[in-house]
Amino acid sequence: MACHPVYSVAIPVYNEQDNLPELFRRLSATLAALDGDYEVIFIDDGSRDRSLSILREFYQRDRRWRYLSLARNFGHQIAVTAGLNYIRGKAIIVMDADLQDPPELIPDLIQRWQQGYQIVYAQRISRQKEGWFKRVTAYAFYRLLRHLTDVDIPPDTGDFCLMDRQITDILNSMPERNRYIRGLRAWVGFQQTSVPFSRDPRFAGQVKYTFGKSLGLAVDGVISLSQVPLRLATYLGLLAAAIAVLMVFLVLYWRLFYPNSPLIGYTTITIAIFFIGAVQLVCLGILGEYIGRIYEEVKGRPLYTVKEMSDVGTD
Ligand code: UDP
Ligand code: MG
């Protein structure tokens, strides 16, 4: 394997045993028709089912189907990061293992890359097959992110995309642990474009992103790209101060003109205490989100640990 392939496909895998054979079938049909050499690199993200042994079989069958097995579950974004560290192609495709990202779209992505675009997003045109809750929250999140950050993440794009080597080299040089790949990818700039596709339902198996994980990813996305929440804390503080000044006048007014009014006294004090308490806790929470991340970054641990690789030392 002296020569590096033109195309690399990086696929994170977490308990996808029932999807892998079908993925192999559809993806190899698509890749065989390409005009250049290819490699596939699976990143086993600490799967507990038969995924890893299936990946070993793929590699036995065809040396272009490589794999990397992380020592535990590190999460989707880190798994993709690990894949990007090990791929060798000139055009890199990132896609999911559950066939929600149709392999048949790859030639379209490549066509745009050949036209000179460094990043080609696959952009969902319909989410009909996903539940209404996911659709509404995803819609709201992408719009919110657009308002909160300077980088323009195209709405309805996931991780499915093609990137030029130049882009993955930059991503690989970014040391941060808090990796929201969609955001980092949009942040780098260059010529970006999108190709529309309709996202299929999962072929088999369970969705790995629970609501909690999705919310976590959303918070990561906002915080890694934006400092607006910090400013929000300042604004909240200012608002509380303004209300306090207003209250001073109101209370004085009541004291002077309605000395027996039940409005002053316990009611006012109780409300004021809760209000100030709430504002302070919210602001502390926002600060905490950033400080926690600073702590994570400062520790400087490796992003992941690898327990097994298909081919050692060919990098
Ligand atoms: N995945 C992973 N590690 C995780 C969770 C998910 O590598 O901790 C992989 C998973 O195997 C799949 C992709 O990331 O290939 C997307 O996961 P999923 O389909 O559950 O998410 P969704 O399609 O809802 O975004
Ligand atoms: Mg999926």
pLDDT at 30: 93
Ligand 1 atom 8 nearest Cα = 75
Quick one: pLDDT band at residue 199, thresholds 50, 70, 90? Answer: confident
pLDDT at 237: 83
Percent over 70 (pLDDT), the chain: 95
Is residue 314 predicted with pLDDT exceeding 70? no
Is residue 41 predicted with pLDDT exceeding 90? yes
pLDDT at 167: 92
User: Is-above-0.95 flag for pTM?
Assistant: no
pLDDT at 231: 85
Is 100 close to ligand 1, i.e. is its CB under 6 Å away?
yes
Residues whose beta carbons lie less than 5 angstroms from ion ligand 2: 96, 98, 100
Mean pLDDT of 234-263: 82
Mean pLDDT of 143-152: 77
Is residue 1 predicted with pLDDT exceeding 60? no
Quick one: pLDDT band at residue 130, thresholds 50, 70, 90? Answer: low
Q: Render pLDDT for 62-114 as a digit per residue (tens, 0 to 9).
A: 999 999 999 999 989 999 999 999 999 999 999 999 988 999 999 999 999 99
Is 39 close to ligand 1, i.e. is its CB under 6 Å away?
no
pLDDT at 210: 73
Is residue 239 predicted with pLDDT exceeding 60? yes
DSSP assignments along the chain, one per residue = --SPPSEEEEEEESS-TTTHHHHHHHHHHHHHTSSS-EEEEEEE-S-SSSHHHHHHHHHHH-TTEEEEEESS---HHHHHHHHHHH---SEEEE--SSSSS-GGGHHHHHHHHHTT-SEEEEEEEE-TTS-HHHHHHHHHHHHHHHHH-SS-PPTTEEEEEEEEHHHHHHHHH---SS--HHHHHHHT-SSEEEEEEEPPPPSSS--S--HHHHHHHHHHHHHHH--HHHHHHHHHHHHHHHHHHHHHHHHHHHHHH-TT-TTTTHHHHHHHHHHHHHHHHHHHHHHHHHHHHHHHHHH---S--EEEESSTT--
Ligand 1 atom 1 nearest Cα = 76
Residue among 43, 93, 98, 157 whose CB has most ligand 1 atoms within 8 A, to mutate: 98
